[in-house]
Structure 1
Amino acid sequence: MKRIVMFILTNLLVMLTIGIILSVFGVRSYINESGGIDFNALLIFSAIVGFTGAFISLAISRWMAKMMMNVQVLDPSKNLSSHERELVDMVHGIARAAGMTHMPEVGTYQSQEVNAFATGPSKKRSLVAVSTGLLEEMDRDAVEAIIGHEIAHIVNGDMVTMTLLQGVVNTFVVFLSRIAAWAASRFVKDELAPIVHIIAIIVFQIVFSILGSLVVFAYSRHREFHADRGGAMLTSKEKMIHALQTLQGYKDRAIVEKNQTSVASLKISGQKKAVSWFSTHPDLEERIRVLRESNL
């Protein structure tokens, strides 16, 4: 969940920044001399801005993750505790088994939530981060499977594929928000039109970005099944199922204890249909069922 949300949030901030700067400096080449819209120029403009936002977000994804989550990177060349050394060796061992030649950075962050994520612009510059809550809650087999799942995300190139998808979504967001903003500015006096146009761009871009994120979330849910399968192949089917069952048990216990923070951190189970559209992960029971029925 952290990997996707941080990427989308960074993308939105980058897109808004680019949009505000271009609007303030009057870069509106898609508006012709008569005040109408040149749709071909707008589409090209939207694609440039949209993919620029997505690729900038990808480029800084690892740095943003470290900063936002306060990830403490474990340097294997320095003195580490036995538990830290074991974690680094585990991640690197699974990465080698997956065929990676450049080892991902390994980090931990202080949080009671049971979570882990992988991010980074490429296989050569990736990060696997694990919460202290996950290390405390799960046994070694479950931790190993979860790390296998995150390594599978890296090997499958999910961040790059998601970036391309986000670029397409961004293009439509920029395109539609400019059309809507242009239409809104036509209903005010000429002297107010530029201000209304800028404000409307920001508002519509946020609204359309939220709607567009549903596509990214749907892709994320789809890729989770592939990452589960990858984690099972890198460790074992039994370990991956055990890890998901441990997460299920944690979720059930959190509900009984009314620990809403812990439940919210999972974003993976027990949602109503409308709420599940905004989830980055499928239902845990569904993931366990699919994995059990796989021919691994």
Structure 2
Amino acid sequence: MKRIGLFLLVNLLVLTTIIIVTSVLGVNRYVEGQGINYASLLVFAAVVGFSGALISLALSRWMAKQMMRVHVLDPRGNLTAQERRLVEMVHEMSRRAGLKVMPEVGIYQSPEVNAFATGPTRNRALVAVSTGLLGRMDQDAVEGVIAHEVAHIANGDMVTMTLVQGVINTFVVFLSRIIAHAIASTVRSEVAHVVHIVAIIVFQILFSILGSIAVLAFSRHREYRADGGGAELAGKEKMIRALTALKKNVELVDTEQTALQTMKISGGKPRGALARLFSSHPDLDDRIRRLQQM
């Protein structure tokens, strides 16, 4: 549960805020008489659901910088030799991937061996690596990690994840209101409105957690694709070297720090069925095995 991504958390908070505001202001006019206008409710659910996902996407790069305290490197600034190599590596991989606008490149202080990519579009992306990764990995492994993250950007994974989240949000809003209306209809009219609002919030949070299972399953699928894209950009051996290095280090560092897990290269090794269900990344052994079979 600690590995659910920042994107999912921000989406849930934004969605809940929108619901509270619309419920208090009474702008969600989908109840007619004693019943529900399902067409109006579906339109309302889609507008609210995709608004929550799109706002989360728009905030993703800014939130990542703030939460991870990312130091963005200025390509024209006074950089160290290590920072200069990192910027040049990201830009070279980006050109190979066909990106027209180079992503921002940043470093964040953390002992974990990891990196992430985020941003609302391919032209407004960020690739950030941890100091732990730069200190523990050799050049070939770092190149494999960067290739993986650039592949996320080139594949449009941030936008794709947002669309999937928008669909899930729509069903969350739709179903939570149907159940809340059914519950509110069983209580006295004086408290029905309050019960309706409380039930909406409770069921929306519950369904959002259940919906995140589908989103995270999709995230795991995209990780395999980013591994393949990274192998095309940097070479299969470097991509395998990167994942092997991550596997060796993942148990040696504290990985409990909150991060944009849905776009990080490593989610560690999920332990237990529930952990695997809520993991944004497949098992590293399986990812290495798939690359070897390419």
Q: Please, what TM-score do these two structures have when normalized by structure 2? A: 0.93
- Specify the alignment match of 2:278 in structure 1: 278
Q: What letter is aligned with 2:179?
A: A
- Specify the alignment match of 2:293 in structure 1: 293
Q: CA deviation at 1:113?
A: 1.2
Q: Contact between 1:4 and 1:220, CA under 8 Å: does it hold in 2?
A: no
Percent of aligned pairs with the same residue?
Answer: 60
- Specify the alignment match of 2:28 in structure 1: 28
Q: CA deviation at 1:173?
A: 0.4
Q: CA deviation at 1:132?
A: 1.0
Separation in structure 2 between the aligned mates of residue 138 and residue 26 of structure 1, nearest angstrom: 55
Separation in structure 2 between the aligned mates of residue 41 and residue 108 of structure 1, nearest angstrom: 47
Superposed CA deviations along residues 175-232 of structure 1, whole A, max 9, x for unmatched, are 0111121122123221111111111111111111010001110001001111001111
Q: Contact between 1:149 and 1:230, CA under 8 Å: does it hold in 2?
A: yes
- Specify the alignment match of 2:19 in structure 1: 19
Separation in structure 2 between the aligned mates of residue 234 and residue 76 of structure 1, nearest angstrom: 22
Separation in structure 2 between the aligned mates of residue 79 and residue 20 of structure 1, nearest angstrom: 48
Q: Contact between 1:3 and 1:119, CA under 8 Å: does it hold in 2?
A: no
Superposed CA deviations along residues 104-155 of structure 1, whole A, max 9, x for unmatched, are 0001111111111101111110000111111112111111100100000000
- Specify the alignment match of 2:269 in structure 1: 269
- Specify the alignment match of 1:153 in structure 2: 152
SS of 2:250's equivalent in the other structure is helix
Q: Contact between 2:3 and 2:280, CA under 8 Å: does it hold in 1?
A: no
Of stretches 12-21 and 264-273 in structure 1, the one that deviates more from structure 2 is 264-273
Separation in structure 1 between the aligned mates of residue 142 and residue 224 of structure 2, nearest angstrom: 18
Separation in structure 2 between the aligned mates of residue 55 and residue 130 of structure 1, nearest angstrom: 25
Separation in structure 2 between the aligned mates of residue 168 and residue 283 of structure 1, nearest angstrom: 27
Greater RCO, 1 or 2 (C-alpha within 8 Å, sep 6+): 2
Q: Contact between 1:268 and 1:280, CA under 8 Å: does it hold in 2?
A: no
Q: CA deviation at 1:261?
A: 4.0
Q: CA deviation at 1:287?
A: 0.3
Superposed CA deviations along residues 87-107 of structure 1, whole A, max 9, x for unmatched, are 111111111111111000001
Q: CA deviation at 1:268?
A: 3.3
Separation in structure 2 between the aligned mates of residue 35 and residue 18 of structure 1, nearest angstrom: 24
How does 1:1-296 map onto structure 2 within 5 Å?
A: 5-32=5-32, 34-253=33-252, 261=256, 266-294=266-294
Let me know the Cα RMSD of the aligned residues: 1.9
Q: What letter is aligned with 2:271?
A: Q
Q: CA deviation at 1:260?
A: 6.9
Q: CA deviation at 1:274?
A: 2.4
Q: CA deviation at 1:160?
A: 0.9
Q: CA deviation at 1:4?
A: 7.3
Q: CA deviation at 1:8?
A: 1.2
Separation in structure 1 between the aligned mates of residue 27 and residue 233 of structure 2, nearest angstrom: 50
Separation in structure 2 between the aligned mates of residue 252 and residue 114 of structure 1, nearest angstrom: 10
- Structure 2, unpaired ranges of 5+: none
Count of paired positions: 287
Of stretches 192-201 and 213-222 in structure 1, the one that deviates more from structure 2 is 192-201
Q: Please, what TM-score do these two structures have when normalized by structure 1? A: 0.92
Q: CA deviation at 1:77?
A: 1.6
Superposed CA deviations along residues 21-63 of structure 1, whole A, max 9, x for unmatched, are 100101231110x221111111111011111111111112111
- Structure 1, unpaired ranges of 5+: none
Q: What letter is aligned with 2:178?
A: I
SS of 1:46's equivalent in the other structure is helix
SS of 1:181's equivalent in the other structure is helix
Distance of aligned partners of 1:148 and 1:101 in 2 relative to their CA distance in 1, 3 Å threshold: same
Q: CA deviation at 1:3?
A: 11
SS of 1:68's equivalent in the other structure is helix
